[in-house]
Chain A
Amino acid sequence: QSVLTQPPSVSEAPRQRVTISCSGSSSNIGNNAVNWYQQLPRKAPTLLIYYDDLLPSGVSDRFSGSKSGTSASLAISGLQSEDEADYYCAAWDDSLNGYVFGTGTKVTVL
């Protein structure tokens, strides 16, 4: 049972913008950095955002992250067909004393 809650799915037309929410608590998002991972179909996850809003080298700047209180968001602008994937938020949880992933969100490009 994940402690980070995401919407199961979001969909939008090409070139539009989508936002994925990640809801947690004071023991995880409220007190620790949030990361986002992209998992393309049948592939291993890859790091998309770390430390709330930092992009690793090589990641498109169409992706952006933000955090406020105990919630975080991932935005994808200029949506492309190649963005169809599952997206997971994650953070360290001080109460569980472990790393926790969100429930995951499937992005569909219409």
Chain B
Amino acid sequence: QVQLQESGPGLVKPSETLSLTCNVSGGSIDTYYWSWIRQPPGKGLEWIGYIYYSDNTKYNPSLKSRVTISLDMSKNQFSLRLNSVTAADTAVYYCARLRRDYGDYIDYWGQGTLVTVSS
């Protein structure tokens, strides 16, 4: 059973960088696509991007200029960096496994971590 667990600061100051890590257990990270999704309080889901095998990345066009997703195979982890954050980036951030076989779908999600952007 694959399990994902997000970790990182729960509070980030405006204009600074949001950094989160997702630890993957129960499966190897070098075989699938790995995604970040976020959900502002009381709102819907927004896909941030994915990474596959270290250097194959794709990002939401609305966030592309500020986002970097990276992967550390030695630790079975992947990470999210979002630069120049504002209050609009306050959200629950989920890491997830993206399958790209029968279409594109997310079969495993982390529990989510709330990140608040505030001074």
Contacts and interface: CB of A to CB of B under 8 A. Distances in A.
Contacts of A37: 45, 106
B107 interface: yes
A96 B49 CA distance: 12
Contact of A50 (B35, B47, B59, B103): B103
A63 interface: no
B103 A32 contact: yes
A104 interface: yes
Contacts of B104: 32-33, 35, 91-92, 99
A99 B110 CA distance: 18
B105 A50 contact: yes
Contacts of B102: 33, 50-51, 54
A60 interface: no
Interface string B94-119: 10001100111111011110000000
Contacts of A26: none
For chain A, what secondary structure do more than half of its interface residues adopt (helix, strand, loop), or is it mixed?
strand
A98 B64 CA distance: 11
Given A101-B44, A101-B47, A33 B61 contact: no
Interface residues of A, number: 28
A32 B105 CA distance: 11
A2 B45 CA distance: 9
Given A97-B58, A100-B47, A44 B110 contact: yes
A90 B44 CA distance: 12
A51 B94 CA distance: 22
A2 B44 contact: yes
Interface string B33-59: 001000000001111011000000011
Interface of A: 2, 32-35, 37, 44-47, 50-52, 54, 56, 88, 90-92, 96-104
Which 5 pairs, one residue from A and one from B, show the smallest C-beta to C-beta distance?
A: A33-B103, A51-B102, A50-B105, A99-B47, A35-B105
